[in-house]
A and B are shown apart, each in its own frame.
Chain A
Amino acid sequence: MRGWLYILGGLLIWTLHFLGVYAFVSLAAQTRAADTAEWQAASLALSVICGLGAGALFLVASRRARRTSSASLADHVAALSAMVGGVGILWQAFAPAFATG
Chain B
Amino acid sequence: MSGLGEIFGGWPPPVLDPAGPFAGPVTALAWVLLISGGLVLAMVLGVTSVALFGPRRWRAKLGHERLVWIGGLAFPVVVLTALLLHGLSLTRDLSAPPQPGETRIRVTGEMWWWRVAYLDTAGREAVQDANEIHIPVGRPVTLELEAADVIHSLWIPRLAGKVDMIPGRRNLMRINADRPGTYAAQCAEFCGGPHALMGLVVVAHAPAEWDAWRTRTAAPPTPTPGRGAELFLSAGCGACHTVRGTPANGLAGPDLTHVGSRRTLGAGILPNHQGTLAAWIADSQAIKPGNRMPAYPVLSGPDIRALAAWLGSLK
Contact = CB atoms under 8 A, between A and B. Distances in A.
Are any A and B Cβ atoms less than 8 Å apart in their complex?
yes
Interface of A: 87, 91, 94-95, 97-101
Interface stretch (B83-91, B104-112, B243-251): B83-91
B96 A101 contact: yes
Contacts of A99: 92
Contact of A98 (B80, B81, B88, B97): B88
Nearest to A97: B88
Contacts of B80: 91
Nearest to A84: B73
Interface of B: 77, 80-81, 84-85, 88-89, 91-92, 95-97
Contact of B92 (A87, A91, A98): A98
A43 B92 CA distance: 18
Given A91-B84, A94-B88, A98-B88, 17 more contacts: A87-B77, A91-B80, A91-B81, A94-B84, A94-B85, A95-B88, A97-B88, A98-B89, A98-B91, A98-B92, A99-B92, A100-B92, A100-B95, A100-B96, A100-B97, A101-B96, A101-B97
Nearest to A99: B92
Contacts of A91: 80-81, 84
B25 to A, nearest CB: 15
B65 to A, nearest CB: 11
Nearest to A98: B88
B234 to A, nearest CB: 52
A94 B87 CA distance: 11
A94 B91 CA distance: 13
Contacts of A101: 96-97
Contacts of B96: 100-101
B232 to A, nearest CB: 47
Contacts of A98: 88-89, 91-92
Contacts of B81: 91
A87 B76 CA distance: 11
| Residue of A87, A98, A100, A101 contacting most chain B CB atoms (<10 Å) | A98
B142 to A, nearest CB: 14
